[in-house]
Amino acid sequence: MKLLICNDDGIYALGIRALANRLTEAGHGVTVVCPDRERSATGHGLTLHQPIRAEPISDIFADTIVAWACSGTPADCVKFALSAVLDSYPAFVLSGINHGPNLGTDVLYSGTVSAAMEGTIYGIPSLAISLASHTSNQFQVAADFACEFIATLSEQSLKQPTLYNINVPAVPRDRIAGARIARQGLRRYLETFEKRLDPRGKSYYWLAGEVVEEIEQPEHLHLPSRIPTDVQAIRDNFITITPLQYNFTDVQTLMHLDRCGGFDCLAF
């Protein structure tokens, strides 16, 4: 299959190298287009007010892999790849393997998830793959799982292009409890802005914080209790698979407002 791979950790990240080389070993045609430097937490930003520069890269990946480094965001990279690099759309867009988890509300800020979401917007089934550790460099289990997962998906009749957000525990293969479908949990941060002074005495601020994880979600979502949150399942050493979509419409509130006549009482 023809595959497009991106990330937000940059062209030199070990995670994207492990993923691209593993998929090439499996016989897939792989093209890599990713940022020329780390672009973590850029969300779905696009570069509109300055040019995007891109150049072919060699000597990082397997010889058969076509690789480009792009000055833009992860979403820019996918747009550039689909419009200027590839002659036809790939079977899948894969983003990762990210160095660190993308759980719960992390997906709103994640460049990894946004790159995969861009593929979904173009009608291409996409995967965002993350290793749930900022310190471990053991990406092979995640790469192997991604390879098996797209093989399984390719054999199924997908009703619509979907983004699968996949998080892999940073443990040896024999300690992984399995793979589970999971719902998006909540993952919040107790944030602080640390004030510092530069050498000229001018102040600047550095964002820091501590993760505050909340497992449960509001009951009004009416999701089966047997389906764990991604936050909970990753704690139990499960690989988590969470289907995501780009339509943010709050269907529950929309239907409630429609039944109640909306805001017809407003004098506008």
Q: Is residue 42 within 8 Å of residue 73, measured between CB atoms? A: yes
**Residue 28 placed within a domain:** yes
> In angstroms, what is the C-alpha Rg of the chain?
20
**Residue 224 placed within a domain:** yes
**Residue 163 placed within a domain:** yes
**Residue 266 placed within a domain:** no
- Look up the CATH number of the domain holding residue 53: 3.40.1210.10
**Residue 169 placed within a domain:** yes
Chunked into runs of 10 residues, the chain (268 residues) has average pLDDT values of: 97 97 97 96 93 94 95 97 97 97 93 97 97 96 97 84 96 96 85 88 85 60 78 95 92 84 71
Helix, strand or coil for residue 124? coil
**Residue 213 placed within a domain:** no
Q: Tokens 């499996």 belong to which residue? A: 26
3-state secondary structure 75-110: HHHHHHHHHHHCCCCCCEEEEEEEECCCCHHHHHCC
For residue 101, what are the domain limits? 2-183+219-254
Q: Could you give the CA distance from residue 29 to residue 247 in angstroms, rounded to a whole number?
A: 31
Q: Structurally, how many domains does the chain consist of? A: 1
Q: Using alpha carbons, select from 246, 247, 16 the residue that is nearest to residue 129.
A: 16
Q: Give the per-residue pLDDT at 190.
A: 75
Q: Give the per-residue pLDDT at 144.
A: 98
Q: Please give the helix or strand (H or E) that residue 147 lies within, else none.
A: helix 140-154
**Residue 80 placed within a domain:** yes
Q: Could you give the CA distance from residue 268 to residue 266 in angstroms, rounded to a whole number?
A: 6
**Residue 32 placed within a domain:** yes
Q: Using alpha carbons, select from 176, 186, 157, 144 the residue that is nearest to residue 240.
A: 176
Q: Please report, for residues 15, 26, 28, 107, 263, the alpha-carbon distance to residue 5 in angstroms, rounded to integers and kept in the order given.
A: 11, 15, 12, 18, 45
Long-range residue pairs from 149-157, CB within 8 A, at least 24 positions apart, any chain = 149/241, 150/1, 150/3, 150/23, 150/91, 150/92, 150/94, 151/26, 153/92, 153/125, 154/1, 154/91
Sheet holding 2-6, edge to edge: 54-57, 66-70, 29-35, 2-6, 92-99, 126-131, 163-168, 238-244, 178-181
Q: Give the per-residue pLDDT at 218.
A: 54
Q: Tokens 């891109």 belong to which residue? A: 54
Four-residue CA torsion sign, 153, 7, 162, 251:
positive
